[in-house]
Amino acid sequence: MKNLISIKIRKLGKSDFPGLKSLITGIQNFKNEEKVCALELIDYALKNKNQSDYIIYIAESGKNITGFIIYGWIDLTKGCYDLYWIATHKKFRKIGSGKKLMERMEKDIKKHKGRSIFIETSSKTNYLSARKFYTSCGYHKEACIKSFYDKNDDKIIYRKDIRSSE
């Protein structure tokens, strides 16, 4: 099945909001406030075409949105970026959408002379597959802040250097 599905990566478009809303609301790992936040960022990016804080790409197969990624430059740094969100539709996991989105983000960041990408995630068990995914994409655990999100819910920070600093 993996070889039969073609994944295309493209910039966010106005008509994507309903499909992204459906994808985001269906993700069980996301808390309600996280879902609201992700949708607000997408809405903001759609309403403010000239903004550069949130760069958003969509993965699609045919007419189906299979995933999305949101990232941006970290203020007051030289070449550091945050990956804010990456998610794939449950139906389309393990077919390469996530990897292709990560590759597109890294290519774009390199083009803009970026040097490092940071990802923050939860230490909770239901985020284990996300942490394994980041490791499989070449990211390494940089730090752990104990009980950050809640008691016994640490913030794990991943990092990948995509070019040597100058």
Model pLDDT, residue 1: 43
CA 123/CA 119 separation, integer angstroms: 13
Total count of domains within the chain = 1
**Edge-to-edge strands, sheet with 140-150:** 8-11, 55-61, 64-73, 80-88, 116-122, 153-161, 140-150
Element (H, E) at 110: helix 97-111
Burial per residue of 26-50, b for 16 or more beta-carbon CB atoms within 10 angstroms, e otherwise = eeeebeeeeeeebeebbeebbeeee
Model pLDDT, residue 4: 61
Q: Is residue 166 part of a domain?
A: no
Q: Are 71 and 118 in contact (CB under 8 A)?
A: no
pLDDT tens across the length of the chain (166 residues): 445 678 999 999 999 999 999 999 999 888 899 999 999 999 999 999 899 999 999 999 988 899 999 999 999 999 999 999 999 988 888 888 999 999 999 999 999 999 999 999 999 999 999 999 999 999 999 999 999 999 999 999 999 999 854 4
Q: Is residue 48 part of a domain?
A: yes
State the CB neighbour count (10 A cutoff) for residue 149: 15
Question: What CATH code is carried by the domain that includes residue 72?
Answer: 3.40.630.30
Q: Are 5 and 58 in contact (CB under 8 A)?
A: no
Domain that holds residue 147: 2-161
Residues in the chain: 166
Beta strand 80-88 pairing with 116-122 = parallel
- In sequence order, what E strands does 7-152 have? 8-11, 55-61, 64-73, 80-88, 116-122, 140-150
Model pLDDT, residue 132: 96
Q: Are 54 and 72 in contact (CB under 8 A)?
A: yes
CA 157/CA 13 separation, integer angstroms: 30
